[in-house]
Structure 1
């Protein structure tokens, strides 16, 4: 019996030696796990011939040489509540995909973790508690396509070595503590990017001018809630027209370029930058901030000015001064006469008030005729009309304007009455948002009456209007999002009439075709194991 007890550790050691090197590397990762409340690693057994049957492990197909073991190519353990520090021991060198998102990982990202897997194509560590700087060794991953380290506590700057990842298609670093400027050549070197999210960090400096070279970007380019400063580079207008550029809450300044992807954007893309000016913001630019097309005024001593006379450029003559004074006096007299005339009309209208009230509807027209510059009061909204918040038309609306502005937005299409976006909120709820342009083009009362009437309509062939937003600068309609394919498919019988989303505004009835193909490329690189 004692002999068996002595031989047992030797047998276990021999079994571990029989395990492939990839399996032994994974066991080193398991040894670093402090808590495994869901039992995700329960079947990671050292006595196995290889790790290909372990939970979360995927291996390559069987090699032609039967004597060679299958290699580990993917490790995917999302949402398992694993408590661990990432080990400094290298993972299998054949690893291509690593997904440990939404666990409880802490500590830094060890350089050895990535440098030993040069074939790594996706690294997803979203939603953990990792800290420390990003390792420079990320630049040694030439095949890296997806890097998602969002929602951690990483700090330091973005290493310039990241620019060596020329195949990078998705870069998501949102909600960390990263600081400093973006590396020089960011837009020129990472031209394959399709998704970019740097929001809620401390990035500073100017937005790189070459960022307009990222012609493959889709969805929302999110640079919000950082410390970017200086002017908005006009090169951003070269981005695809359907890209939504979120620059909110930075330190940007100067006029907003009106070209390409920056043209006809609502003010919600630029709020939180007090020094920005020009449309679509209400803050006008000073003459110094705007480029001037007028030639400079001649110097006081320039003999070529005003005809080339030597004495004519030194100042105004007496006749010119007298003419200017007389014209000012005449202008003041005209304004005074006009004012007294309007005052007399207003007093006269008060005297006739009783008579007009008794005259019925014919006398009620005095509202237009009594004043020189009077206008219809209904043309301007009341003081409480512009609250900068959503007006819910349904009790199921659980989000506010701030959540809507933070959501990911995809342009579905444009029409004569606005742009339609597919908006995905943080909790996964998907809505369709139609932006109708400047709110001042329609009276608030008319807009409110019509929209609330549409919101009461309930029909299986009419998409439900859930909420709306009105301001002087912008009007938004928030609908349910219904993916329906294309209108062409519906016309040719591939979809029933019930599957069409009908949206009505300003007495127009239009068929809204939610074409998912416009955003299909955004998700084309999400591999099946990233679930």
Structure 2
């Protein structure tokens, strides 16, 4: 007797219900919590009430954990098997710059979608595991700076999609196998224990990929019996010879014909250029007679100081008559000055001044203007300002009312529909960015600890003052190019308050290295976000690295995370700029300032100190270091600024940061 269809249908449903559940977000969460218990109990502050996809370092796609990124967070120990293999939708695993040890868990081979593995900067050991060669979709593999030993297996050729392979700074030995990886772009095996010759398929890689070992061939020195690449392809057949090869030299008549043609072509081109120049000058004269535009933009363009028209950075100035700027309705527009200081010049004087482009910044282009009476000012031509005049006046006058020795004074401003100018005192020594990163060659004067700590304190005091003017008052754009230096290297903060005047398009990606992670609108920056930016600035002072320089690989590591990862490995001395390593007597103070910088750049705003607390801590550090330097001068009459004394005073280790 046949079984009724409805019985079969419900039986199938019951079996489906009773069968083991398919992997889901709940199983992903269980795997993550087990992972935390194994290697991240003290490092990961995952809260039991936080949603799985909101956990630190976790990114979900289509309701599953797709990316696990925990670089430099302090993971320590060995990852057991049977944990990460449960994240069956995982595509990217990044555990770089931690203290993980032992073997890489083999259950990674069970992840069908795994594309990217970043494990550099840990303590993994043993041979490179063979299960990696079965992850057929692997695109990026970074195992650099670990303790892997043994050889490089030719089974890497099974990873046909591999585009990145970094194995440098391990203990790998033997020869490099013939790797035939059609998509391989990034490759490095330097500073291992390899020997032999560079395989043919890898000889297009740069020499930096094979440094620090007994290798030859390719981009390195030729192996015994090989000829250098420069000598290949040279020899006979390039000219007349007595062995039957044709002589390809041109005859005298052909050369004469080419010369005559070239001269004729040049004369025709010259005639065309002359005609075009005459036509342009005729049109320009007609336009000038027709009307003289009244706006400041035209006056600036006539003087050659509009963006992009100065060529070599210094404006050209004919001797134009003053161009009065008038607003609609015929009312004259004037420079509006703030309360402090004499009003020694007007808009017409500014337009007649010689001008030099200082640089293009986040909010506009800055010019150095030398007035006829000898006064020097800095003029910033703002861009992307859409505020109505009344609102602009309120905001800029609040900025102009700020008066502190560590702020660049704002002297005057100009507003019209087409132009917004602000006039500052000119600060002659340039920016901290130029001082730190400019001229890193042999002729550079080192930037000593006392100067750096003084700059840090002065900048902190300026920002603290801004914050003291109101609970919502902030700078909004703290970075090293906005810290200007007077003749005595006294720091003054510039561009304060301008973030509130311009549109969001005026804040480019280049300031992202300073920007706090919670900031989404650059016009709305909190005081705690300012503290984060100042923390990055302190790290820049101490490390000598600009935030953009800290993007160490294809995923990118910002400067605070890079510093934390190095400090956790107890390599604190490697963080500091080489110019600071000779100041052994203030080593503890340098570490204290580093700790303050890390505190300021904390991921969560409520964990950051206030600027008032920052100032107090820098003052204490400065007092301590000045006492130490004074005592050292008594103990060692030879100045610690003597470059010849560097080797004896350089430190190879530094106190650890708690």
TM-score with structure 2 length normalisation?
Answer: 0.32
Identify the structure with the greater helix proportion.
2
TM-score with structure 1 length normalisation?
Answer: 0.39
